Amino acid sequence: MRRAVALLFVGLLVWGLVGWAQPGKEYVAASETTLAAVAQEVFGDSAYAPAIMRATNAKSLADPAYLKIRTLDMKIPAGAKLWVPERAWAEAFMAFWDPNRPEDLFGGGKLVVGSWWTAGGEAEGLNALFEIYDEYYPDVQIVNATIAGGAGFVFRAVIKPRLIAGDPPDTFQLHAGLEVEGYSPETYLTPLDKLFEIMGWTEVLPKDLLDLLLYKDHFWGVPVNIHRANVLWYDKAIFEKYGITPPENWDEFFSICEKLKAEGVVPFVMGNAGGWEAAHLFETILVSTLGAEGYKGLWTGETPWTSAGVTEALEILKKILDYVNPDYAALSWDGAGEYLIAHKGAMMIMGDWTNGWFMAKGYEDYGWAPVPGTRGIFDALSDTFCLPKRAPNPINALGWLMVCGSKEGQIAFNTRKGSIPARTDLTAEEKALFNPYLQSCMEDFARDAIVPSVIHGAAAIESWVTDFKDAVNLFLATKDVAGTQRALVEAAEAALAQMGK
Ligand code: GAL
């Protein structure tokens, strides 16, 4: 409740500062003038005239008291009201506006946002970003173009052909890391280096994340969060009833499983309807058996896939299948979570979007711990938004990216989504807006060894992720440890060769 009040307060504060418009201020012409002269006066540079024209036209769509400017050299009559954007916005506009697109000087239009955020927590987080965007750009109509399916496997299959056909949304969700390779960014996406520079994001984002974001020496997406993949969620009521504490290692995990199975409780729940959830679980087991450096080495060629740690991870996964809910193949990750809410299943390993989902469901009886054997390691991923080269409304998308990268945006989004802000410059009061899980997550991220998630796009190129996922899915049926390890070795060889390693 206190958090809700505080959030409302921050919201009102933001609203009070900016009113219903992008950051900037009103300017009333004292005498007849030109946009160039106004730009010279307020920015010390007449070249910023297009930025003022765009901002004023956008404002005038929502409030006719503002001047409607038809051409860049139109005479501005005395007493006319203009909207002068903040310098950073004006700089970003000038860096990204294509003078061959005069239509972008007029404001309005749509912002088509592509993502796979349809589950509880995901949808609320996205909506919080939309609300801020709406405040800044009331002239723009937001189109929420979601394609359901956790981890974005369905989404990517739909969006890629659209991108290639020159029919992309204005911006879409993209994991930080090697996932971007699958979109041939040099051909289809706009590098965002200049935006990072103007907004000062390289100063406020953690180095691990910046390293992950750089692909072929460019930034292709603006990160809105950091998620953790290696979390074990448990139902506190069940743990209390049977006097159980969270397992630190797999031996403890399996003795808990035995105990609960004997009591008629489903010890471990999972869904695999999306075909990626079991592979997500397996990834976190690999982190436990190989450690941070060993796991990271799997994706660079330094750790051989023939390692005993890989065999051990497969053995663990095989054993987990003895304790899992029988309907796992039919359930999505959130569907599986219902077992916990109903106090019918005890433990679940899934990323911390589960925390957002629990919040959205009003379920508070959950505890969390690192996946057994991974204390001190943070299996990380980050959601970013990119700017397609052929975005129909690139300037509307630019405003969206600025909201995504802003503190206001990241606080509003992450408190609902169940992730932590990508930015590290939150004050103690701002951190206090996050729930206890997220506060502990912020501390862990600052302290732990960070490793990249494979299933969520950070560690490997797309073809490798697919091979990895397919090998795990086949394993669920065959339980063939040696055969699966061979398949994983082959997948690594093929991918490393493609990557020139
Ligand atoms: C991840 C994504 C998260 C979360 C999850 C389940 O790949 O990064 O934001 O939504 O999928 O859909």
Question: In this predicted model, what pLDDT tens digit does every residue of 128-169 receive, in sequence order?
Answer: 999 999 999 999 999 999 999 999 999 999 999 999 999 999
What's the confidence (pLDDT) of residue 433? 98
Domain endpoint, select from 85, 118, 138:
85
Q: What is the mean pLDDT of residues 99-108?
A: 97
Residues 325 and 390 in one domain: no
Residues 300 and 196 in one domain: no
- Residue located nearest, by CA, to atom 6 of ligand 1: 150
**Band (13; pLDDT cuts 50, 70, 90):** very low
Asked whether residue 58 is assigned to any structural domain, the reply reads yes
Give the tens place of pLDDT for each residue, 197-220: 999 999 999 999 999 999 999 999
Q: Which amino acid appears at position 164 of this protein?
A: I
Give the tens place of pLDDT for each residue, 263-297: 999 999 999 999 999 999 999 999 999 999 999 99
Strand 24-28, strand 81-85: pairing: antiparallel
Residues 145 and 268 in one domain: no
Ligand 1 center from residue 63 Cα (angstroms): 38
Give the tens place of pLDDT for each residue, 372-395: 999 999 999 999 999 999 999 999
Q: What is the mean pLDDT of residues 439-460?
A: 98
Residues 232 and 220 in one domain: no
Q: What pTM did the predictor assign?
A: 0.95
Q: What is the mean pLDDT of residues 467-495?
A: 98
Residues 169 and 212 in one domain: yes
Residues 465 and 323 in one domain: yes
Ligand 1 center from residue 358 Cα (angstroms): 14
Ligand 1 center from residue 152 Cα (angstroms): 7
Asked whether residue 16 is assigned to any structural domain, the reply reads no
Atom of ligand 1 nearest to the CA of 149: 12
Cβ–ligand 1 distance for 383 under 6 Å, the answer: yes
CATH number of the CATH domain containing 337: 3.40.190.10
Residues 285 and 374 in one domain: yes
Atom of ligand 1 nearest to the CA of 175: 8
Range of the domain at 271: 228-380+452-498
441-to-287, 303, 422, 429 alpha-carbon distances in Å: 18, 28, 12, 16
Q: What is the mean pLDDT of residues 25-42?
A: 98
Cβ–ligand 1 distance for 456 under 6 Å, the answer: yes
In a 3-state reduction of DSSP, which class is residue 33? strand
Residues 273 and 368 in one domain: yes
Ligand 1 center from residue 150 Cα (angstroms): 6
Q: Is the pLDDT of residue 18 over 90?
A: no
What's the confidence (pLDDT) of residue 138? 95
* Pocket residue to mutate for ligand 1, from 126, 153, 154, 227, most atoms within 8 A of Cβ: 227
Number of domain units in the chain = 3
Atom of ligand 1 nearest to the CA of 381: 8
299 neighbors 454 (Cβ within 8 angstroms): yes
Ligand 1 center from residue 118 Cα (angstroms): 10
Q: How many of the other CB atoms lie within 10 Å of CB of 193?
A: 15
Asked whether residue 95 is assigned to any structural domain, the reply reads no
Residues 188 and 153 in one domain: yes
Residues 267 and 165 in one domain: no
- Residue located nearest, by CA, to atom 2 of ligand 1: 151
**Band (20; pLDDT cuts 50, 70, 90):** low
Cβ–ligand 1 distance for 353 under 6 Å, the answer: yes
Please tell me the least confidently modeled range out of 19-23, 63-67, 319-323: 19-23
User: What's the CA angle centered on 195, arms 38 and 67, to 5 degrees?
Assistant: 30
Residues 160 and 207 in one domain: yes
DSSP 108-157: -SEEEEEE---STTHHHHHHHHHHHHHHH-TTSEEEEEE---GGGHHHHH
Asked whether residue 94 is assigned to any structural domain, the reply reads no
Q: What is the mean pLDDT of residues 291-304?
A: 98
Q: What is the mean pLDDT of residues 15-40?
A: 83
Mean pLDDT of the chain: 95
**Band (501; pLDDT cuts 50, 70, 90):** confident
Asked whether residue 445 is assigned to any structural domain, the reply reads no
Asked whether residue 36 is assigned to any structural domain, the reply reads yes
Asked whether residue 307 is assigned to any structural domain, the reply reads yes
Asked whether residue 39 is assigned to any structural domain, the reply reads yes
Residues 188 and 266 in one domain: no
